[in-house]
Amino acid sequence: MSSQASVLFDAPGPRARLRNNTLTLLSAVGLAAIAYFVYARFDAKGQWDGKIWKPFLESTTWVDYILPGLGGTLKAAGLAAVFALVFGAVFGLARLSDHRWVRIPAGAVVEVFRAIPLLLLIFFIFYLAPSVLGGGDYALFALVAGLTLYNGAVLAEIVRAGIRSVPRGQSEAAYAIGLRKGGVMRLVLLPQAVTAMMPAIVSQLVVLLKDTALGYIIAYVDLLNMGFKIIPAVNFGSLIPAAIVIGIIYVGLNMTLSAVATRLEKRSRRSRKTSARPIVPPGAVAVPGATGGVSAVD
DSSP 136: S
Burial of 99 (0-12, 13-18, 19+ CB in 10 A): exposed
Contacting residues for 220 by C-beta, under 8 A, at least 6 apart = 72, 76, 139, 140, 143
With a cut of 50, say whether residue 1 has pLDDT above it: no
With a cut of 50, say whether residue 238 has pLDDT above it: yes
Q: pLDDT tens digits, residue range 170-180?
A: 776 777 777 77
Q: What is the pLDDT of residue 284?
A: 54
- Is residue 211 a contact partner of residue 118, using CB atoms and an 8 Å limit? yes
Q: What is the pLDDT of residue 277?
A: 58
Chain mean pLDDT for the chain: 81
Supply the pTM of this predicted model: 0.76
Q: What percent of the chain has pLDDT over 90?
A: 29
Measured between alpha carbons, how far is 75 from 123 in angstroms, rounded to an integer?
A: 19
Quickly name the fold that domain 72-227+245-286 has: MetI-like fold (1.10.3720)
Q: What is the pLDDT of residue 208?
A: 93
